[in-house]
Structure 1
Amino acid sequence: MISDRRETMVRERLHIAASVGRGLLVAGLLGLLAVQSAAGSEPAGRVLASVGDFHAEQEAGEARPLARRSPVFATDTLVTGADAYGQVRFSDGALFEFPAESRFRVEAYAFDPAAPEEGEALLHLLKGAMRTVTGAIGKENREHYRVSTPVATIGLRGTHWGIRLCENGGCRDPDGNPLADGLYGGVIDGAVLVRTQAGELLCSPGMFFYVAGPQSPPRLLPGPPGVVFSGGGSATGAGTRELGLHGAPLGTLLPELQWRGPGVEGGYRAGDQLDSRGLPQGGGGGQIDSGGDYFTLTAMESEAKAVSPR
């Protein structure tokens, strides 16, 4: 009798263990399939430059580091840490760069080179700043290109612009004075349409704007706020003047910069450290990785030809 009970208990425990094992196996297979599905999907773009802690967060909460040539997918949230910098080229040719302490979500993205007019790019700046040169979607299908923020939505009418979200008193002007929280932006080429629940504002080249909140109308600023294109994207504009992308004075272009693998090449020192702008500290050239190959980095121009692999 006791033997029968023991045998029954053993069988029940074995059955439970088998059920748990099958559940774990199924969960593992589902997780593997999800990873394979994400990896097998067509990337929305690829990383061109990565300095410091630049990574992507997926919907499931998993994070993966981003290095040069790493794929970027729709639904990724791109994150830069302190003193970090990232630059991404999307498949339609659009170029985005993110200074330190930024969060940028790719909500939806689709592009077919054979039908650029059917492309879609729905993007969201959650924190920090971004600068961009528009690609084919923004030129061919403006109605389906949108960059939203917690404060305002940016509709595209141009090709070269940038924005910064200031929060919790974290931004200062070039004189060191605190700037009001809100969204600051500027246009280098083309135009952008800034919309809130209270109104909209069309900004042309050389104009800067400010939005206090979603219930406030956008308004033009009398001059550069010092935090949109300043010194590579720091929220502190103290001691700097408004700069163009990659630190060039607004309205000017940088000469071509080259990075190579180990050794000295063309007067550029391998192993130079890059600052938060993605530029070598102290000027000159610098090395992004030691893979032995190289690419060139020019100013972010309106034709989105800033970076071209060689």
Structure 2
Amino acid sequence: MEPVINTAQWHTRTMLQLTRQFLFLLAVLGCGSSAYAQAVGTVTHLSGVLTVKHADGSTALLAVRSSIVQGDTLVTEANTYTRVKFVDNGEMVVRPSSQVVVKNYVYDVDHPEKDHVAIWLVNGGLRSVTGLIGKRNHDAVSFETPTGIIGVRGTNFGALFCQSDCGSVPTPNGNMPQNGLYVDVSQGAIVLSNPAGQQVYQTGQFGFVANLNTPPVVIPPTQGVPVTMPQSISQNAPAATTAKSTTVDCVVR
């Protein structure tokens, strides 16, 4: 005689089977938990190939409307620009041949004291426009770079870290930028600090810091390196992407 299974046992077994099938499907698709984590940003513009490295070690090609989650590392190929809009309406444009890590992005509408934004510029360049977090609690926002930390004050600013790889970057004087971090401020102010010192930059100013052991300084506009972007990325209408990943957002390599 077969054992009698009551309704509760049947539901339990059914849920276990469905759970196993769901986890198996995720494994087959190559989508780790990062794909289902809470999104903190969205890719709105893209002009080339954009790769993301998730915190769990998986990687994927991104497209316009792809989600960004905490812990993601954005990697742009040569000639690739991308623009990301975050949950607090902050925006960031990443230059070609760059790596940017979204270490933390916490926005709590009702509890500003819980806000926390930490972006890490590993190499390359970016341009950032402060969102609601930076406007109501600017101390909660920071951008880490290899030569110092940038704090915002309701800002539109650019940052470019050169390591003998900025030869193609246009400069006012036509010279190749020397190695180090360049910043420029289009609106508001930023403060750049490292173990050697601290410097505030206001609207229209340019700055430079060679390394962690030298203080940041203000430099003339003729020596500055403004972080610019193509019109297709700066305009508000979503740009058509040339990447082959327009329908791919979960490919593990």
TM-score range, shorter chain: 0.7 to 0.9
Aligned residue in 2 for 1:203: 201
Residue type at the aligned position of 1:81: E
Q: Work out whether 1:64 is the aligned partner of 2:60.
A: yes
1:194 to 192, 197, 202: 192
Aligned residue in 1 for 2:220: 222
C-alpha contact 2:172 2:222 (8 A) present in aligned 1: no
3-state SS, counterpart of residue 52 of structure 1 = coil
Q: Work out whether 1:135 is the aligned partner of 2:131.
A: yes
Aligned residue in 2 for 1:270: none
Mapped partners of 2:224, 2:139: distance in 1: 30
C-alpha contact 2:98 2:122 (8 A) present in aligned 1: yes
Question: Which of 1 and 2 has greater Rg?
Answer: 1
Q: Work out whether 1:74 is the aligned partner of 2:70.
A: yes
TM-score, length basis structure 1? 0.63
Identity %: 30
3-state SS, counterpart of residue 176 of structure 2 = coil
Aligned residue in 1 for 2:246: none
Total equivalences in the alignment: 217
Q: Work out whether 1:288 is the aligned partner of 2:230.
A: no
Spell out the pairing of 1:261-300 with structure 2 (5 A cutoff): 278=233, 288=240
Aligned residue in 1 for 2:157: 161
Aligned residue in 1 for 2:15: none
2:102 to 106, 113, 119: 106
Q: Deviations over 1:219-254 (max 9, x none)?
A: 001115453234x2xxxxxxxxxxxxx56xxxxxxx
Mapped partners of 1:133, 1:67: distance in 2: 21
Residue type at the aligned position of 2:190: V
- More strand by percentage: 2
Greater Cα offset, 201-210 or 109-118: 109-118
How much is the aligned-residue C-alpha RMSD, in angstroms?
A: 2.8
Aligned residue in 2 for 1:256: none
Mapped partners of 1:126, 1:58: distance in 2: 15
TM-score, length basis structure 2? 0.77
- Cα offset for 1:42? 1.1
Aligned residue in 2 for 1:87: 83
Identify if the C-alpha distance between structure 1 residues 174 and 205 changes in structure 2 by more than 3 Å, giving closer, same or farther.
Answer: closer
Identify if the C-alpha distance between structure 1 residues 38 and 169 changes in structure 2 by more than 3 Å, giving closer, same or farther.
Answer: closer
Gaps of 5+ in 1: 1-24, 233-245, 248-273, 291-310
3-state SS, counterpart of residue 137 of structure 1 = helix
3-state SS, counterpart of residue 170 of structure 1 = coil
Residue type at the aligned position of 1:92: D
2:176 to 153, 160, 178: 178
- Cα offset for 1:167? 0.7
Aligned residue in 1 for 2:12: none
3-state SS, counterpart of residue 126 of structure 2 = strand
C-alpha contact 1:116 1:136 (8 A) present in aligned 2: no
Mapped partners of 1:75, 1:170: distance in 2: 27
Identify if the C-alpha distance between structure 1 residues 32 and 141 changes in structure 2 by more than 3 Å, giving closer, same or farther.
Answer: farther
Aligned residue in 2 for 1:304: none
Residue type at the aligned position of 2:117: A
Gaps of 5+ in 2: 1-19, 243-253
Identify if the C-alpha distance between structure 1 residues 32 and 129 changes in structure 2 by more than 3 Å, giving closer, same or farther.
Answer: same
